[in-house]
Each structure stands twice: as C-alpha cells, then as structure tokens.
Amino acid sequence: MVSAPFSRRGFLAGIGGVGVAGLLGACATGSNESAGAASTTLTLQSSLSDPDPKAALTKVVEGYSKSQVTLNTIAIETFRAQLPTYLNSGNPPDVLTWYAGSVARDYASKGFLLDVSDLWTGSGPCAGFSPALKELSTADGKQIFVPTNYYWWGVFYRKSAFQEWGVQVPTTWDEFIAVCKTIKSKGVAPISMGTGSTPWVASGWFDYLNLRINGADFHRELLSGKHPFDGPEVKTVMDHYRQLVEYIDPKGRSYSWQDAVTPLTAKKAGMYLIGAFITSGVPSDAVDDLDFFRVPIIDPSVPVAEEAPTDGYFASAKSRNPQRAKELLGYLASAPAQQQFIQLAKSSNLPTSQAVDTTTFAPLVQKGIKLLNESKAITQFFNRDSSDELQTTADTALTKFLDSPGDVNKILTEWQGAAKKVLGS
C-alpha cells in the first residue's frame, strides 16, 4: 500500500534515556502534557509493524538523544483507518510514518501537516534530496513531508523454480500468459496475491495494467477524477485483468500480502507482483534465489512506467513542540539513520539520501535501481497517487471483481459511483 506499500515496523523498551512504548493499536495521541504546554517528550506514531522493520525503527529511535521519544506501533490497516483521527485530535502524535505524494498533500490541504520547508533549504537534512523527491513532498509550494526510503515493484519469482518448470522470463503480455499456462500445467498456482486482510494488493495489477495500456499520464488523471472508472479505457484494463483471474491462487483471497509470500517461496506459486518489501518475508535460505522482472509490455508505443512508492514521515501541525518535531525529522532523514534502518530492516528499500553508499547493496537492489533508472515515468501506488478514501473504493471493486469477474461492468459502474462521492464530482 499500500502498500502497502512498505507498511510494517517499530516497538520495544527504550534504552539510553529514550522511552519506547510498543503499544499495538494503542495511544493515538501525543504525550500527556498539560494543554498548550510545549512537550519535552515526542510521540512517533508508526505503521511499521512487521518484525524486522519494527525492530529497525526501534533501534534508530533509541539512537536519538536530543529528546525523549515514545514510539507507538499500530497495525497498518488500523493506522490507515485512524490516521485522520490521529491528525485531527486535540493532542496528536508529533511525528507519524506515512507516504509521500497525493495522500500527504491531501492531509496538508486540510491543515493537518506541519510546514517543514526549512529542512529542505540551505544545509537542511533534505536539501540534497532529488527534485523528484522534493516535488513528492510539496503541497502548495511548501514541503510537508520527509522521505527516507523508496522501493520498486516487480513480478518476483524463484530462479530455481523457473528452471525446474522450464520457463523463461517473459517480456510481452502473450509471453506472460504462456508462462502462466505452463506453470499451471505443473499443478502450481501461477500467481500469488494476498487480498484478504490486505485488499490493496489487488491494486498492484490494476495500476500496472493501466500504466502498460493507457500510460502514466492517463493513470494519474484517472486517479484525480478526470476520467471515469467505467469508461472504455478502464474496461480494456479489466479485460486484461480478467485474463489473469484463472491463474491467481484462489487461496489468496484469505491471505494477507505476507501470507502470500509463503506459497511463492515454497514453489507452490510461481510469481507475485509486489513491492520490494517482499524480501522481509522471504526465508534467508531463499533470498539469493529470489529475482524479479518488470510487468511485461502490452503496447510498445506506451512509454514504460514503474511504481516507486516513497515512504517517510510528516509532523502534525498541532504538535506542541514543532521545533523538536522537526529536529527528529531531520535525524530520521540523515544518511546514518537511513543506512541503519535499511540494513536492520533487512529490506530492499533504497535510501533517499545521496550520502548513503549503495555500492554494497545486494544485486537484487542494484537491479531495482536499474529498473527505475530505465523507466520513462514513475508513479507511486493507487492510494499514494490519489487518496486513502479512493483506495477504499478500489479495494471494494477489485476484490468483488476477483470473486465475480463476470460482473465486471456492474462493478465498474458501482466503482465510478463510489469514486464520484470521494472526489466530489
């Protein structure tokens, strides 16, 4: 997301004078100082609840000495649903994990986010970040987000499995369907996808099919309400999606995205379109066997676009100590903090700081860097290019489609109706 995106991390008891409270599902508000008083203890609300990223963020926070920090970790779907409540409360968390791009801008437009433009100027900790990252972190001419890592999406598979099944990496849609047919003939589910408790995963294929058929510009316009979800372009996307349904592991409708990694690594499923965060769920003895390829080309005339969701932090506009909040953001954006987090999280995420040495990164990560460098356009993910509210409409529509692909026209009509309510048009 949602989501995914890298949606998992942070808990443990603090040391070195830093109090860390790992309260799954608890503490939606900031520190319990008297109303209006500047707080000396900062609250960092985290959605990073998977074990490795969670422990990694804990270690990073333990290394911060300028203020006491209480780290609250909330399960991702609860965090997503409660985020507007966190930000609009009378005593909100000071700093929160979340996503760059449209979703952050949406919260900024409601006045929920602290202006952190000074972190992006002069010798500020974000001053050396790329113009693309700055654009993703900007709303109405002000920077409201601090990006600390990003990652790519791809179709992941086990190299040894492809060898055993006698299939090659496909580069075109027809080749991809042929690979699916061959894998299915071996008694293996060709595609793994966990859309039970993490329905946003279904948007991965929707995004990529739209990017491959209609292009990045149309995709962004669709998600901003400039095109209807029941229009001919989206129907073409869903025609292609429908071709995949018979190859998707039906058990995935009860899986989380993490659960769906297991059949892939056990060679009971062939491929999985997911973000690079998949590596955090792959057993250590299978990591070197993991590889990926870009979603195959459908229309060669459409410039190749890739999804590269960008994660990081924003601060609440109602923080009782905005200066301390910005200092914490600066620390989290620093090269040492980024390096430590990525290494301890055992993730394949890429740092946003150019001061981090990436030459020692794993071959898989180097391949991810190359993939993004070769892309003509970059998008984020459905909710990040629109809003969490619109993502909910996608979750409903696409999971209904997976269950009843023959009802696609009715589902698209309902989706457009729900989208119009969200977009107000």
pLDDT digits (tens, 9 = 90+) for 68-91: 999 999 998 899 889 999 999 999
Give the per-residue pLDDT at 358. 85
Q: Is 21 exposed, middle or buried (0-12, 13-18, 19+ CB in 10 A)?
A: middle
Burial 47-70 (b: 16+ CB within 10 A, else e): bbbbebbbbbbbbbbbebeebbbb
Instruction: Tell me if 322 is assigned to some domain.
Output: yes
The total number of residues shown for the chain amounts to: 425
Mean pLDDT over 329-345 rounds to 94
CA 248 to each of CA 153, 270, 391: distance values in angstroms, whole numbers, following the listed order: 18, 10, 21
pLDDT at res. 388: 84
In a domain, 159, yes or no: yes
Q: Which residues pair with 301 in a beta bridge?
A: none
Instruction: Give the distance from CA 111 to its chain's centroid.
Output: 23
Q: What spatial distance separates the first Cα and last Cα of the chain, rounded to whole Å?
A: 25
Sign of CA dihedral 108, 325, 74, 36: negative
Q: Which pLDDT score is estimated for 101?
A: 87
> Does one domain contain both 91 and 209?
no
Residue 167 to residue 180: CA distance in whole angstroms: 9
Encode pLDDT of 38-51 as tens digits. 568 999 999 999 89
For residue 55, tell me if it sits in a domain.
yes
Least Cα distance to 274 among 293, 287, 289, 288 occurs for 293
pLDDT average, residue stretch 91-110: 93
Cβ–Cβ < 8 Å for 351, 338: yes
Give the mean model confidence (pLDDT) for residues 193-207: 97
State the average pLDDT over residues 364-368: 90
Mean pLDDT along residues 306-333: 96
- 185 shares a domain with 174: yes
Predicted local distance difference test score (pLDDT) of residue 374: 85
CA dihedral 70, 110, 148, 61 (to 10 degrees): 0
Please tell me the total count of domains within the chain. 2
Q: Are residues 162 and 274 in the same domain?
A: yes
For residue 140, give the CATH number of its domain.
3.40.190.10
Q: For position 33, what pLDDT does the model report?
A: 45
Q: Which two tokens stand for residue 367?
A: 């391949």
Rounded to the nearest integer, the mean pLDDT of the chain is: 89
Whether residue 387 sits in one domain with residue 252: yes
Instruction: Clarify whether residues 268 and 188 are in a common domain.
Output: yes
Q: Picking from 299-303, 332-336, 361-365, which range would have the lowest pLDDT averaged per residue?
A: 361-365
Query: Does 17 have pLDDT greater than 90?
Result: no
Instruction: Work out the burial of residue 13: count CB atoms within 10 Å of its CB; fewer than 13 is exposed, 13-18 middle, 19 or more buried.
Output: exposed
At 11, the pLDDT band (50, 70, 90 cuts) reads very low
Q: Are residues 136 and 182 in the same domain?
A: no
How far apart are alpha carbons 161 and 267 in whole angstroms? 6
Q: Is residue 360 part of a domain?
A: no
Is the model's pLDDT at 62 over the cut of 60? yes
Same domain membership, residue 341 and residue 290: no
Q: Is residue 18 part of a domain?
A: no
* 204 and 297 part of one domain: yes
Q: Count H helices and E strands in the chain, helices first.
A: 15, 14
pLDDT of residue 346 exceeding 90? no
**Whole-Å CA distances, 363 to 53, 56, 257:** 21, 22, 24
Percent of the chain with pLDDT over 70: 91
pLDDT higher than 70, residue 251: yes
Which residue in 361, 283, 164, 421 sits closest to 351, CA to CA?
Answer: 361
Q: Which domain holds residue 247?
A: 153-307+381-423
Greater confidence, 26 or 231? 231
pLDDT number for residue 409: 98
Kindly state whether residues 48 and 126 are assigned to the same domain: yes
**Predicted confidence (pLDDT) at residue 243 exceeds the cutoff of 80:** yes
Lowest mean pLDDT among 39-43, 141-145, 263-267, 394-398: 39-43
Query: At residue 14, does pLDDT exceed 80?
Result: no
Cα-to-chain-centroid distance, residue 42: 25
Looking at residue 34, its pLDDT comes to 42
Q: Domain for residue 33, yes or no?
A: no
Examine the domain organization and report whether 157 and 256 are in the same domain.
yes
In this structure, are residues 228 and 218 in contact, taking their beta carbons and an 8 Å threshold?
no
| Listed residue (90, 89, 91, 1) closest to 47, CA to CA | 1
Distance CA 278, CA 291 (A): 11
Q: Sorting pLDDT into bands at 50, 70 and 90, what band is 244? A: very high
In a domain, 368, yes or no: no
> 162, 155 in Cβ contact below 8 A?
no
376-390 pLDDT per residue, tens: 888 899 999 998 899
User: Domain check: are 80 and 214 in the same one?
Assistant: no
Residues 186 and 110 in one domain: no
Q: What predicted TM-score, i.e. pTM, was given to this entire model?
A: 0.75
Q: Is residue 400 part of a domain?
A: yes
